[in-house]
Amino acid sequence: MLKKITIGLLIWIALLWGWNTSLFIQSDTSNPQLIAHRGVHQTFDAGGVGRDDCTALLIGRPTHAYLENTIESMKAAFAYGADVVEIDIHPTPGGEFVVFHDWTLDCRTNGSGVTRKMRLAELQTLDIGYGYTFDGGKTYPFRGSAIGGMPTLAQVFTAIPDGKFLINFKGNQSRGGRNFASFMEANPKWILSVWGVYGGKRPTDIAPTILNIRGYSRPSTKACLKEYVLKGWSGHVPQACRNTYVVVPENYAKFMWGWPHKFTKRMANAGSEVILLGPYSSGNAGSTGIDDAVLYRKIPENFDGYIWTNKIEIIGPMAKPDKNKSNP
């Protein structure tokens, strides 16, 4: 009886392995697809940073002159090989959207107050490089270099008409999703520029439904991954993983049944794309990415999902050397 049970168990393990292995799956992707978080920007060590900390005070010594969420940084990101650039948007009282990360202006700019409560005319007079320092306030290397550098979403789409953008809703109000949908419906020529949306659950539930685009939120991502870990061994793709973006931290990828190629194929068959982040830790602030050579080399060969990076200027030349023969 024990022998039969052992043989049966071995057969079950073999079938489970065969059903979920990627050994026999061929990927036709030679170069990975890249998402440049905030464009080319000044980065910081996310470990131990609180949600409300001013990260402009924590940047490393600058190696380039680009600032996040500016048109110049987005153009540079695409030049380095980004397929998609992630940007952050806030509504303004006049109905426009500005591209800026922080909920308030106090950290990065020479202004103060809640971003979404300020008039566009005032926002576009600010110096968005005012608050950056890498040496504890001894120097502020970007002061005066980015006066008037906060663009509107319309200006971004106009300046980079062929670009693809992942839009981050800063806030969790339902009206943010409705207002964004109305904005896009009034400007249908730009809908192809929107690769997807993410952020607060309420706007990311609403805007994709109205505009027929993909979107995701932290709750939807957790629901997808949790159910897939429990049931994905069978090939089942949960509803939370369908017609969306499935975001997988690098250190959680090994728990995804069928990782890497069978997993991405299953998601593609369910109408979804896979985004690979950097390692997740509860002590990290913001989105960690594939930001150095060590992490990049861990990516499976011919990975056919998207790779999230905070340092497109480093990862782009590694992933797409032909595109980077002349850097921006």
pLDDT tens digits along 71-109: 999 999 999 999 999 999 999 999 999 999 999 999 999
* Per-residue confidence (pLDDT) for residue 327, from 0 to 100: 59
* Per-residue confidence (pLDDT) for residue 46, from 0 to 100: 78
Q: Are strands 84-91 and 97-99 parallel, antiparallel or unpaired?
A: antiparallel
Rounded CA gap, 301 and 298, in Å? 9
% of the chain exceeding 90 in pLDDT: 81
Q: Which residues pair with 246 in a beta bridge?
A: 274
C-alpha distances in angstroms, 59 versus 67, 123, 197? 11, 23, 27
Is 288:49 a contact under the CB 8 Å cutoff? no
Is 80:313 a contact under the CB 8 Å cutoff? yes
Q: How far is CA 260 from the centre of its chain?
A: 19
Class of domain 31-319: alpha beta
Strands (E), the chain: 33-37, 84-91, 97-99, 165-169, 194-199, 215-217, 245-249, 273-277, 306-309
- Where do the domains of the chain lie? 31-319
* Per-residue confidence (pLDDT) for residue 328, from 0 to 100: 57
* Per-residue confidence (pLDDT) for residue 284, from 0 to 100: 60
Q: Could you give the angle at the alpha carbon of 122 between the alpha carbons of 121 and 124, nearest 5°?
A: 70
Tell me which residues of the chain have a pLDDT lower than 50.
Answer: none
* Per-residue confidence (pLDDT) for residue 22, from 0 to 100: 85
